[in-house]
Structure 1
């Protein structure tokens, strides 16, 4: 699906949702004239500063070569040599949507006018996105201190030294000083981070709906979600979650009668466990939106003071720590989902046959779903381990810290896929239990959710392979999230 709307690129105000629209729906980006003018002034200032004194990466080498002065007569080739030497990425290519996101983010960062690159590089990125030209960008080569390999590959492609993966535009010249200014960014990590945040946010939204279906199948008590309960301990995420559950489970403010005095934790403590995940996802969005609009290049070319500032803004500890925390919260809510699935197949809680079996005596029904869910939960548990406990010392000891934010993001991608499987297994159990029990659902969006699930998931009474149904349930989660 394409998006014909226009997103203005001015170096500020870019949202995570905008990047998703560009990456997944080919929304049109348009550089504002003011952004180009500011980039032009930044470029002119950078050139001037390079004639007056040492500017890292422009008049010197990089890394441990920071004190080695570049021959002014060979400055043109210095930039190309820098791109060539740093374009050492390997591994699988980034998916097309991630490459579009990288280009959109880097364009907006350059429009913040702190890099000193020539404006023609901004126009080249804008044009490439408009015509659908995509460079080949490899995944492996970043440790959370700048996506040097990925951005060097894009820079060399823009310069005509590497072939385009698809489409193409005319080569652009790399001015002296452009190379480091262009690659001094974490845009590739941020691109994967934004898409991961979006996908996980959708699954988190769907988890309210799936939990509400399970709640109805088990005839839970809505007291646990009452506004008065959560006003007494008002953690924002828990308050939001409880409000969502009331919206899905109550019609006109009427409370559903509960079957038990107290429900299992999977129902009763859902807001307290889901809440931290909602807060963690919101914090990830806040961190990412700062960096999407950041002039974080080293050195920072500041038009106001007419100076070049050397700094450590390339560190992405904020991103790494935010995603480490998000994965930890995700593990907790996945455990609750697996617990609710176990509740659904337990006759003492569901008043239905063991494992929701509908065939002859001894039928296994949905027994295997618990195995699948706990396999996925095990994968999630391993992925949830913090990556920020490690570091790296490189470049002859000069660069002695790394956040590994790239790995924090990719571990979250793995964790999200695993949680999607766990939640899909619960959805299958909830839908079958509701079909078997005939429980009437409240007149809320939950009825539409059940209709979608009832139509999208087959109802096969006898024992049969469940692989295809698990896959269909995983796909259905995105539609449930919209409710």
Structure 2
């Protein structure tokens, strides 16, 4: 049972509800808050113009809705905005979106009728999912996704899974429900958590490569990182010392006076990614608990405000930074893979081959890694360099946070493949020249990989190994 209160939702809660069968309820105080906001905005709407309730939307903001057409105005808004296109959103994404929208409504700033909160909680608990499309937002409100969801709750669209009895949606509910970036936030939350886990796993994979390559411990020394103490960098170096058993001991020197950048610069490159993901998580935590609807009902002020909380520049720029830093980290993984197949670094056969002359070993892994890295490079390009002018010039800027979130999910998928290639090569190398891992925490990672991956070193297909290695990264993140 998960209780939504509009104030304390965490990114981990979003993933749990998205991926597991969790019963959802709404906190009683949050329901009272939503009911009070609905009564307040209903009263104010009878005495003054309020955008989207007594007026049109967008460039139609100056058009007043006459009393005769007011009852159907909300339905027309939902129908006209339910124009999503492209693929249907995956189930986990839709559940995450519904939970975030429910939590935002529970914050009490929308003025939507409390029955909407109950309906969303019932849908999540019963497993009912609306049929919503992926394409239709530019970072200033997920209007198409939420309009399709609203019409589904009202009984005008079929459910993709399950079913709920239709609920009435009046003029006051339409824009109040649509005025959110819940779908974009859902994708961003799931991408953020995936990237965080992959960054944690990359410490473990890098430590295995370090053992194979006989790395130098000087690059991770406490004194080195105290001299330039960026938080993420300091933490990364400490993680490498922990995994490699350097804490409280004098580690053996490396094979070289200086290692290639893949090992030597790992904290300096991984650190910015860790910091960028931490900032992204903070942005997301604010957004998923925000009263961001336009117009916003303020119970404290007893008033309604028109504003621009729908603009997602914070999220778009945070996602751009996160993807760019992760791309740099993935480049280092591909570089270490190149070191692992080079005899001068490993004292092993070229490409870790084990067979007659001309055997290819893991040669193909470099091609796979650089294919995935090229894909990651494309989705790491910033979305915030473009904009859009829509609705007859009234809405003259866009963040494209939706595209940034979409690309973050793709970045996580590509980065996972790059790391999987390095992991397969490192474990194979440790089989070919066993190292003393007995007293190292990273030994647990090797044991897990050793029990999962194929030990055969003759030339063979690697597709199954790469699939298993990619899945294993989730476990390695906890070592």
TM-score scaled to structure 2, two decimals? 0.98
Tell me how large the CA RMSD over aligned residues is.
Answer: 1.1
The gaps in structure 2 that reach 5 residues or longer are none
Map of 2:185 onto structure 1: 190
CA distance in 2, matches of 1:71, 1:444: 74
Map of 2:470 onto structure 1: 474
| 168-177 vs 383-392, greater mean Cα deviation | 168-177
Map of 2:297 onto structure 1: 301
CA distance in 1, matches of 2:250, 2:334: 26
CA distance in 2, matches of 1:199, 1:88: 30
Map of 2:131 onto structure 1: 136
Equivalent of 1:235 in 215, 230, 236: 230
CA distance in 2, matches of 1:442, 1:139: 49
CA distance in 2, matches of 1:194, 1:52: 40
The gaps in structure 1 that reach 5 residues or longer are 1-5
CA distance in 2, matches of 1:460, 1:23: 38
**Residues 426-455 of structure 1: per-residue CA shift (max 9 Å, x gap):** 101100111111111152331111011011
CA distance in 2, matches of 1:407, 1:396: 23
Map of 1:3 onto structure 2: none
CA distance in 2, matches of 1:293, 1:361: 62
Q: Given that residues 222 and 255 in structure 1 are in contact (C-alpha distance below 8 angstroms), is that contact kept between their aligned partners in structure 2?
A: no
Equivalent of 1:91 in 83, 86, 93: 86
**Residues 291-327 of structure 1: per-residue CA shift (max 9 Å, x gap):** 0000010001111222111011100011110010011
| CA drift at 1:130 | 0.9
Equivalent of 2:407 in 403, 411, 417: 411
Map of 1:385 onto structure 2: 381
**Residues 269-303 of structure 1: per-residue CA shift (max 9 Å, x gap):** 10000000000111110000000000010001111
CA distance in 2, matches of 1:24, 1:139: 19
| CA drift at 1:30 | 2.0
**Residues 147-181 of structure 1: per-residue CA shift (max 9 Å, x gap):** 00000011001111111111111111112211000
Map of 1:145 onto structure 2: 140
Map of 1:208 onto structure 2: 203
Equivalent of 2:453 in 434, 454, 457: 457
Map of 1:225 onto structure 2: 220
1:353 aligns with 2:349: yes
Map of 2:279 onto structure 1: 283
Over 3 Å off, 4+ runs: none
CA distance in 1, matches of 2:197, 2:438: 23
Q: Given that residues 251 and 443 in structure 1 are in contact (C-alpha distance below 8 angstroms), is that contact kept between their aligned partners in structure 2?
A: no
CA distance in 2, matches of 1:442, 1:408: 43
Map of 1:246 onto structure 2: 241
**1:54-69, aligned counterparts within 5 Å?**
54-69=49-64
Q: Given that residues 276 and 321 in structure 2 are in contact (C-alpha distance below 8 angstroms), is that contact kept between their aligned partners in structure 1?
A: yes
